[in-house]
A and B are shown apart, each in its own frame.
Chain A
Amino acid sequence: MNKTRKLEKKWYQYRLRKILSFSLLIGIAYTILALGYYFLFKVESFDFKKIFALNAEKKSLSVESNNTAPLVALKNSELNQTLPTTTSTQKEKLEVSISNENILLEPIIPIIDFDQEQRHVSAPRATKKVVPPNSNMVRAKASNYLTAKELSHLVKEDRDTTKLKNIHLHSSSRNYIETMENKFLKSKSPRDALLLAKAYYGKGYFKESEKWALQANGLDSDLEESWIIFAKAKVKLGKKDEAIQILSTYYKKSKNIKARLLIEKIKKGKL
């Protein structure tokens, strides 16, 4: 009798151990799943796409740096003074110095400035940036803002290979976005956020563009271009009515002519 009671006790221990090990197993499985979900969908910095794209970009840069370097040099005359020759290693140095020295970034990469898309190639820059003395920022040169037309013109002059131009543009823009994002993380400047919104818009990432425009607007609601880009991105995302509503609100408040023109453009479906 006592023997069976002891056996029953042993059985209870056995069951408890079995239940515990089963629960532990379920717990581990659940944790793994939750962590996987968290990293995949919740952590913004853990962007697989970005990581893969960056790796691909690095590879393409190292392969084609000899070809792309002259183009960079051509469009960065000020930078060329400090970097007279443009070999592949110097191209890398250039990138490093960009991230290390807090350079004013607009002139580095020839991105397409959509606001000035209509500007003529020969037209001089109207504005100049004022760089404070003793600043370690490299002053941006107006001529470094290039429209698509300017870019194609220069590319035609300097390089005949369209293929190479495309590769260059792609990799540089990516690099630009990454650099800008890093810069924004440090500066939290609405201007930087706006530039990112523009860059993403130019690349066709309208959702990202919308996000950054909103970010810029949040930091400075008077930033005219943040409204414009935000509305443009909305249109591209198929939210035309929402875009008009936003622009109307902004127009009522600011009487901004650009906003009004854009509303008309959207209504006519010309965007």
Chain B
Amino acid sequence: MSNKFSTLKNIFIDSVEKESYVDLEDSLYNYKVLEESLNKPLKMLLVFGKPGTGKSMLLNKLYYNLKDSRDIHYFEAPILSEKEFLIRIFEAISSRSIPKNMKVNFDGLLRYCQQIRGKREIVFLLDECQLYSEALMEKIRLLSDTRVVKFVITLHKTDNEEIIAKEHFKTRIWEVIELSNANVGDLELYITKKMIQRGFIEIANMMSKKDFKYIHSHTAGNFRETNKYLYTIFDIYEYYEEVEAHKLSRKKFSRKILEMAAIRLGYIDE
């Protein structure tokens, strides 16, 4: 079974690839603030928001846009082992690989950073920092104090808020960017842009304001949830296109399929 909807549903698979990024008014503003903050003498930058608000996407975009012009490193998945984390940091800074049976001495790493102070500025993008231990976060803080390493970290709004609240940490995070869920207008823009970028203009035009409102009522503007919902919608569309094409309207987006997808995802009771 393969038709246009098979391709269309795949563009809504949740990913943080640069190509998947859709510029919205808010996200553009946040990106600008983040980029400008990197040029300021700040030790740490915090990107803060509920899951699915586009934090990872923002870091990803920042990395791909700056990787050729700056000394920037992106830790997409959190590294929970302290040993592994320090090895990755050292390897990124020194561009040297560490043998498997060796470990990085943290004091030695700090001394190394102090030696290159004023010569280099290295940016680390750390995603999902709510998963890091407090001890590791403390090491991140000490490393940022050397002014050689700058960290951009993302945190879920509800988790680890107490860590951020701690006085020693608070004083280091000089820029906080809070991301929020999209409103109906933003969501409409997000969906249509995503479809138009991949050439599904006809289907994008079939969707009405009412449809976007309905989608928003179930996903509350959460991008991850929206992607999941749209994937399910086009998965059902794919079936009808293949098996019962006569049931599909070519002019109007199917409310029936919207509701069927909502039932499948448990947004509404059967």
Whether chains A and B associate is yes
Q: Identify the A interface with B (CB < 8 A).
A: 1, 4, 7-8, 10-11, 13-15
Chain B residues proximal to chain A, CB less than 8 Å: 236, 239-240, 243, 256, 259-260, 263-264, 268-270
Q: Is the CB of B270 within 8 A of A14?
A: yes
By secondary structure, the B interface counts as helix
Q: Which residues of A are found within 8 Å of B264, using beta-carbon distances?
A: 7
Q: Decide if B243 touches A7 in the complex (CB within 8 Å).
A: no
Closest chain-B Cβ to A39's Cβ sits at a distance in Å of: 38
Given contact pairs A10-B270, A13-B270, A4 touches B259 in the complex (Cβ within 8 A): no
Question: Across the interface, do B270 and A1 meet the contact criterion of CB distance under 8 Å?
Answer: no
Which A residues lie within 8 Å of B236 (CB)? 4, 7
**How distant is the Cα of A208 from the Cα of B86 in the complex, in angstroms?**
100
Sample of 14 more A-B contacts, CB < 8 Å, known A10-B260, A11-B263: A1-B239, A4-B236, A4-B239, A7-B236, A7-B260, A7-B263, A7-B264, A10-B263, A11-B256, A13-B270, A14-B259, A14-B263, A14-B269, A15-B259
Main secondary structure of the interface of A (DSSP, over half): helix
Q: In angstroms, how far is the closest chain A Cβ from the Cβ of B86?
A: 48
> Which residues of the other chain, B, contact A4 by a CB distance below 8 angstroms?
236, 239-240, 243, 260
Nearest 6 pairs of A and B residues by beta carbon: A4-B239, A10-B270, A11-B260, A7-B260, A10-B263, A7-B264
CA distance A10 to B268 in the complex (A): 11
Q: Is the CB of B243 within 8 A of A1?
A: yes
Question: What are the residues of chain A within 8 A of B239 when measuring CB–CB?
Answer: 1, 4
B240 nearest CB neighbor, chain A only: A4
21 A–B pairs (Cβ distance < 8 Å), ordered by A:
A1-B239, A1-B243, A4-B236, A4-B239, A4-B240, A4-B260, A7-B236, A7-B264, A8-B260, A10-B260, A10-B263, A10-B270, A11-B256, A11-B259, A11-B263, A14-B259, A14-B263, A14-B268, A14-B269, A14-B270, A15-B259
Which chain A residues border B240 with CB–CB below 8 Å?
Answer: 4
Q: How long is the Cα–Cα vector from A10 to B243 in the complex, in angstroms?
A: 19
Contacts of A13 in B (CB 8 A): 270
**Measured between C-beta atoms, what is the minimum distance from A9 to chain B in Å?**
9
Q: State in angstroms the CA–CA spacing of A8 and B268 once bound together.
A: 14
